[in-house]
Amino acid sequence: MRRQYLESEQRFRSLLESLPRVAVQGYDRERRVIYWNEASTKLYGYGAAEAQGQPLEELIIPESMREPVIQAHRAWMREGIEIPAEELELQHKSGEPVSVFSHHVMLGEHTENPLMFCVDVDLSAQKRAYRELDFATRFDALTRLPNRQTFEVQLDEVIVYCRRQSVGMILIYLDIDDFVAINDALSYEQGDRLLVELSRRLHQVMGASDIMSRLSGDEFVIAFPMFQRNEVLLQLVHKIQEVFRSPFLMDGSRHQVTACLGISLYPDNGETAHELIRNADVAKNRAKLDGHGSVCFFDQKLHDQLLYQHRLVDRLTKALDSGELSLHYQPQVSAASGRIENLEALLRWQPVEGPPISPAEFIPLAERSGLIHRLGDWVMETACQQRVLWRNAGLDIGRIDINFSGRQMSRPDIFQRFEDCLTRHGLGPQDIGLELTENVLIEADEHILEGLRRLHDLGFRIAIDDFGTGYSSLSYLKHFPVTALKIDRTFVRDAPEQPKDRAIMEAAIFIGHRLGLEVVAEGVENREQLALIREMRCDLVQGFYFFRPMPALEMERVLGGLVTGHPGVSG
């Protein structure tokens, strides 16, 4: 029997030695080390000779656990109550915690020399992976800031505190301007460097109780609790703006960066984290409409306005497919003879239900939403189709001019789409012209100017619409590939009574003619205005005095000579 026991113990020890990745220690009845394998040395930091004879509780058991471990060992030896296998946090030689799954085996428990073996599986890798996964689900890996879900939980807790203390809170939603362009121009790595640096700078203006999150690629939100006075609010906004005063170093050079800020207040603009973040986001979106570096405070009217605009864009999208859109046409008449020379195509929206919606309302929305490109394609196609129909009907008509917005011109293939549309319908420069505002031209990059020069060289008419209302100097005219000026209606309206407006209009006509440009007066509504325009030798007239914008069928009757203009009509 003795020999069998010794052989069994030898086989057990051989098995332990064959498990190099499992830490195994053996202890006598006093919990002194009698066995310590290499894996135990790697896991706990003690060499076998160093550990030999040392009590278990003084080696790897944290102080708070020592007495319970001693009692559990004694209970097993005296009462046969086994120590359950479980996950434990033991202690490295350095004092650092070591996570293990520990299983215990008692040999010779009914003899004078019972031996306890601890088999410990290192859980460090699993714990690390769990911590990393937990971090990834709750924090932003780049800036180490809380993500949206974590921030909302934190913010709700702060709100509870503010409610108990009867104090307010400021929430600032920050959106970096043109961050996509920064990534495209400098690389995503440089964009990441900007975000990390911005996070660092924002931390410097925050107090101990303030919290911050990176909600998305270029958006941050910061909560400032304990707010009570309006002057504090203005100071905080100023501090955030100061963060952007110094350039950011990217790709070896300094770049000036701006951001739009949207601000909501607790409890005025919401009593939950979700409400405050949503309303600050609404304010931020409104700030972006005002331009780079703008600041906007949330209010309910603003929210309702943006909600209405959002729904209007959705309705406009459907209107493109449901036949609610149409083109009306307004003649451009010879100031001298009254003869119709050309037509301007004007987009109109008549919903199936409800009153018509003004282009002044839906065109800016289409530009901001990106829907302007679909609208622009529809206008080009519809105007070309109508031009072909009138040509085939033998109607005496010159050109149809269509308007291009600044957002449309930013489309890289806009000129190719325009030429393709005309080619598809067998039309040329004598059939379709373009109208642009002077601001579009002033802000145009070289690609746009090159495209306009090509159309100009091909013989297309390119007019500057609303001339005189932009920010250009007259010297710009010599650089733009244009063929006509359209004097804005505000000068025409006031010219008979206002000498300054008359002088400006007369100068515009004179300069236009000296540059070889055709000049059109917009908004002519009465005989006095027409007389003045004729006196100044303006080329063309457009306005209610002759014709209002009208649908295609009504325009056909005018072009066919069945209907004439109505002098004296006012709008």
3-class secondary-structure state, position 433: strand
pLDDT at 6 over 70: no
pLDDT at 571 over 50: no
pLDDT at 187 over 90: no
For the chain, what's the residue count? 571
What sections of 480-567 are H helices per DSSP? 489-494, 499-514, 527-535, 552-559
- pLDDT score at 55: 94
Inter-CA distances, 193 with 183, 198, 199, 250, 338, Å: 11, 8, 10, 7, 64
pLDDT at 568 over 70: no
Rg (CA), the chain: 40
Per-residue confidence at 228, pLDDT binned at 50, 70, 90? low
- Beta strands (DSSP E) in 77-114 are 86-91, 97-107
Nearest to 514 by CA among 460, 477, 562: 477
Q: How is residue 27 written in tokens? A: 């202890």
Share above pLDDT 90 across residues of the chain, in percent, rounded to a whole number: 53
What is the SS3 assignment for 313-373? Answer: HHHHHHHHHHCCEEEEEEEEEECCCCCEEEEEEEEEECCCCCCCECHHHHHHHHHHHCCHH
Tell me: the pLDDT tens digits for 33-76? 999 999 999 999 999 999 999 999 999 999 999 999 999 999 88
- pLDDT score at 15: 53
* Strand duo 540-542 + 325-334: pairing: antiparallel
Lowest mean pLDDT among 117-131, 148-162, 271-285, 460-474: 460-474
Nearest to 548 by CA among 520, 521, 529, 567: 567
Write out the H or E segment, with its range, that includes residue 305: helix 300-322
Per-residue confidence at 560, pLDDT binned at 50, 70, 90? confident
Q: How is residue 490 written in tokens? A: 């505000």
Per-residue confidence at 563, pLDDT binned at 50, 70, 90? low
- pLDDT score at 94: 93
Tell me: the pLDDT tens digits for 262-271? 999 999 899 9
Tell me: the pLDDT tens digits for 526-541? 999 899 999 999 999 9
Distance (Å, rounded) from C-alpha 108 to C-alpha 115?
6
The pTM of this model reads: 0.58
What sections of 393-498 are H helices per DSSP? 406-409, 414-424, 438-442, 446-457, 489-494
